[in-house]
Amino acid sequence: MAFEQIYGEHTGENLARIVYDCLNRNNLCEKLQCATADNATNNNTMVESLSAILRMEANIIWDYKTHHVRCLAHIINIVIGDFLKGMLSMSCDTMSQEFQNICANGSDSCDWT
């Protein structure tokens, strides 16, 4: 849609103003369905502020609680990163035993022979 330079801090309020101005400039305010962003706190503030701006300046009711979609790829990246950190902290023997326990509890796809 646009690449905008951000002047000042990357606060949710500043980001909301930039998003709104871009939507408005392209006549897209009424067509906004959802906002997808990672889990950064300023993005939570951004969608809440965007909802307020849309209501005040465009008379559009846009519920940020139902229309803020967290980026699944980002969430999966965080989960996998934490999993791998845990794996790196295990010894090879402990890791092998953990996988054998998983396979012993019902997975037919593990072959340890």
Domain spans of the chain?
12-104
pLDDT at site 95: 66
d(CA 82, CA 108): 26
pLDDT at site 24: 97
pLDDT at site 106: 61
Would you give per-residue pLDDT tens digits along the chain (113 residues)?
Answer: 788 988 899 999 999 999 999 999 999 999 999 999 888 899 999 999 999 999 999 999 999 999 999 888 888 888 898 888 887 777 767 767 776 677 677 655 555 45
Buried b (16+ CB within 10 A) or exposed e, 44-71: ebbbebbbebbeeeeeeebebeeebeee
pLDDT at site 107: 55
Query: What are 20's two structure tokens?
Result: 């709104």
